[in-house]
Homo-oligomer: A and B are copies of this chain.
């Protein structure tokens, strides 16, 4: 579909405080077309299990893994593709989205509370989804939507055991046994 793949790096996960928001970050990454995610901060077996369970049932081959040393992820990424750090201090997305090379593996970095200064230096692009305080989940969703031009919402997830049949009212789900 595209010549590039996208991975998400979630920085500074804290077990209790970030459990749900990081889950939302990772599920948003998957649903909006990323191929996988890496998270740093505190290791969280339950978080990984939640995401793998969604992949198992809803399909696709999204992968999640923990990496303590996020700096080495960033410095090692230079050969794979661009690093896009989402931050409200950055350049408005619509002014810079076309500059991002659509090749290799794009790493999208989203922080939690406070992002260390060197992330701004190691990133190829510091990108704002609006220069207002809101949510890294919202920022990630809109960024991926811009990057994939809306096509990500039409994507099929291979091997899905559960599929939704869109309805004007109510819920309809198709469950495959396999």
Complex Cα distance A135/B93, Å?
21
**Closest partner residue, chain B, to A164 (CB atom):** B131
Complex Cα distance A94/B153, Å?
9
Q: Is the pair B24, A135 in contact by a Cβ cutoff of 8 Å?
A: yes
- Copies of this chain present in the complex amount to 2
* Binary contact readout A72-111 vs B (1 if CB under 8 angstroms, 0 otherwise): 0000000000000000111111100000000000000000
Give the contact-size bracket for chain A.
35 or more
| Given A128-B166, A167-B90: A134 touches B28 (CB 8 Å cut-off) | yes
Shortest C-beta distance, A34 to chain B (Å), equals: 11
Complex Cα distance A24/B23, Å?
13
Q: Is the pair A93, B153 in contact by a Cβ cutoff of 8 Å?
A: yes
Residues of chain A having any CB pair with chain B under 8 Å = 17-18, 20-21, 24-25, 27-28, 30-32, 54, 58, 88-94, 117, 120-121, 125-126, 128-135, 137-142, 145, 150, 152-154, 157, 163-164, 166-173
